[in-house]
Amino acid sequence: MLKTILSISGKQGLYKLVSKGKNMLIVETLSAEKKRFPIHSSEKVISLGDIALYTDEEEAPLRDVLTSIKEKEKSAVLSIDVKKASPDELRDYLSGILPNYDREKVHANDIRKLISWYNILITNGITDFRE
C-alpha cells in the first residue's frame, strides 16, 4: 500500500498515485479536497515504501516504524503537536518506538515528518502498512 503513497519535495502532505503518463504522474492529495494534478519528471518524488530510518545496525523500513506507532497508539491519531513539540520530546517519542534509531542521522525534522505522515495516513483510513 505504501508504494502508491508519495511524498513530493517542496509540497506538504502526502499524495496517492492515481495514474502514470508518458512524462508525468497523476496524483491525488490525501486530504478532504481529493485534488488531482500532474507531477512532471523534473520533480523529486519518493514512495513511502522506499523510505527507511537509520538505526545503529541497519535501516528500519518506514512500514515497520509506522506499524509500531499504530500498535502503540492503538490506530489512533497521535496527540503530539509536531509544531510545538521540542526536539527532546520528539526524540523521546521515537525512542519508545524505535529504541536503536541513529541519533546523529535522524533529526527532529525527520521525526516531525514521520509523525505528520502517520497522522495523515490514519486520518485517511490507511492503516495497512505492509508491503
Q: How many CB atoms lie within 10 A of CB 85?
A: 18
pLDDT at 65: 94
129 in any annotated domain: no
**Domain match, 55 and 114 both:** yes
**Domain match, 107 and 57 both:** yes
Residues in the chain: 131
Question: Which residue segment(s) compose the domain that 104 sits in?
Answer: 51-123
How far is 77 from 47, CA to CA, in rounded Å? 22
Q: Which residues of the chain have pLDDT under 50?
A: none
32 in any annotated domain: yes
Give per-residue pLDDT as tens, 84-102: 999 999 999 999 999 999 9
How far is 130 from 28, CA to CA, in rounded Å? 21
Contact 19, 31 (CB under 8 A): no
**Domain match, 58 and 108 both:** yes
pLDDT at 130: 77
Domain total in the chain: 2
pLDDT at 79: 81
**Domain match, 32 and 56 both:** no
The beta strands (E) that lie in 35-118 are given as 36-40, 45-47, 52-54, 59-61
